[in-house]
Amino acid sequence: MSLERTVMREQIKELIIRRILDGSYKPGERIVELQLVHELQVSQAPVREALRDLQAMRFIDTEPYKGARVRALSRAELAESYPVRAMLEELAGQLAAPRADAELLGRLGAELQSMRTAARRHDQHALLMADARFHELIVQTAGNSVLLDTWSSLRIEAFTLVSMVTSNLDLVAIADAHLPILDALRGGDAHLTGKVMREHIATFADHLLTGVTT
């Protein structure tokens, strides 16, 4: 769908993100501009602009004349992000409930199925992607662009993955935990949907961070 594959800065940015997520760049590691310049055979300017973007996305920390480091997203920071996410999704649920139509419910149901399939295969990555799409669909349906931008900026899915691989969660239970959300949306009750979503996030965060397997 994206009609732009030509802006180097974007390609560099995506490359770095991939490397952070797959562990090629470890937390705290320096990212040296000239090193990327040599490796990718590009000039310094697009590399620097990509790093500016990544800084805004909170993937890296930079200091003037001292360069960029992969953000050490500690368990503590992940823990801090969940209360924020819970509030945002409560709002999303409240706003989305009156707007939930058959199409949305259908797509959410499909993602739920994907989650269950992934859970049976013990495929954490696939589960998390479907999970992220499920929640994103609801936030989009809320129809508030500031909410969507704010929620997206948390990049929970990226950061969750890092912690998830070290936990030992009951994947099937995680998938099934989305059913109450679907039910609440189907009922169209704004207040209830918001409450269910906030509790859903709080429960998930609790399990993820304590390692309890439900």
Partner DNA sequence: GCCTACTACATTATCGATAATCTAGGAAAC
Partner DNA sequence: GTTTCCTAGATTATCGATAATGTAGTAGGC
Residue 57 contacts a second copy per CB under 8 A: yes
Candidate list 24, 44, 74, 213; residue touching DNA; CB under 7 A: 44
In the complex with DNA, which residue's Cβ is closer, 3 or 102? 3
Shortest distance, position 71 Cβ to a second copy, whole Å: 12
Q: Which of residues 145-164 bind DNA (CB under 7 A)?
A: none
Contact 190, 94 (CB under 8 A): yes
Residue 64 contacts DNA per CB under 7 A: yes
In the complex with a second copy, which residue's Cβ is closer, 130 or 142? 142
207-214 long-range Cβ contacts below 8 angstroms, 24+ apart: 207/169, 207/174, 208/160, 208/163, 208/164, 208/167, 208/169, 209/75, 209/78, 209/79, 209/82, 209/163, 211/167, 211/168, 211/169, 213/168, 213/169, 213/170, 213/173, 214/169, 214/170, 214/173, 214/174
Residue 147 contacts a second copy per CB under 8 A: yes
> Choosing among DNA, a second copy, none, which partner's interface includes residue 83 (Cβ < 5 to 8 Å by kind)?
a second copy
Give the interface with DNA as residue ranges (CB under 7 A): 6-9, 30-34, 41-46, 48-49, 62, 64-68
